[in-house]
Amino acid sequence: MNNSMYQSSIPPFIHVLNNLAVILEKGAAHAEAKKIDPSVLVNARLYPDMFALVRQVQIACDSAKGGAARLAGVEPPVHEDNEKTFAELVARCKKTVAFLETLTAAQIDGSEDKTVTWQTRSSSKSMQGLPYLNRHVLPNLYFHAVTTYNILRHNGVELGKKEFLGNP
């Protein structure tokens, strides 16, 4: 069986976002157990010029929903970037997963050669579907998910590789 664009995108996106929700829930539990103001962790960053945890989660979700929507040729849902708590960040992951679950293989398969165009903060970019998925969307999703993990781990949350990888 060939690996389709759908199989290469939607299941991995859902898997990463579900694992990210678990990581965030562990962050919330850690804050409660250690009597740390949760906003300290939600606003933590690895280095002053990097985005805070809250923004890392927003970008991870946006990468998955925007990438999937562009490959499927549909408009992604708009999620306001107003999360301030672990619960709100977990809800954003779950809303994104719910959107991804509405997309079908028929919408995404065959998008390997489709020209995908998107707007960055400074310019418009275009790539064909397969390189867009493999060189842009997946790396962005993993980067922001692992950075979220690293922020929490750096701040003492007991996380291991199993939380990041989840169940196969």
Enumerate domains of the chain plus CATH numbers: 5-154 (1.20.120.450)
Cα–Cα distance for residue pair 77/99, rounded to 1 Å: 8
Cα–Cα distance for residue pair 14/28, rounded to 1 Å: 21
pLDDT at 126: 94
Cα–Cα distance for residue pair 101/63, rounded to 1 Å: 15
Residue 1 above 70 pLDDT?
A: no
Mean pLDDT, rounded, for 46-53 = 97
Q: CA of 29: how far to CAs of 35, 55, 146, 148, 153, in Å?
A: 10, 20, 19, 15, 13
Specify the 3-state DSSP secondary structure of 115: strand
Specify the 3-state DSSP secondary structure of 118: strand
Work out the mean pLDDT of the chain and round it to a whole number.
96
Residue with more model confidence, 91 or 2: 91
Mean pLDDT, rounded, for 61-90 = 97
Residue 2 above 80 pLDDT?
A: no
Q: Where on the phi/psi map is residue 144: left (φ > 0), alpha (ψ -120 to 50), or beta?
A: alpha
Instruction: With CA atoms as reference, report the closest residue to 76 among 92, 91, 89, 88.
Output: 92
Per residue in 18-41, pLDDT tens? 999 999 999 999 999 999 999 999
Per residue in 127-166, pLDDT tens? 999 999 999 999 999 999 999 999 999 999 999 999 899 8
pLDDT at 166: 87
8 A C-beta contact, residue 168 and residue 151: no
pLDDT at 144: 98
CB contact set of 85 (below 8 Å; sequence gap of 6+) = 38, 39, 42
pLDDT at 77: 95
pLDDT at 96: 98
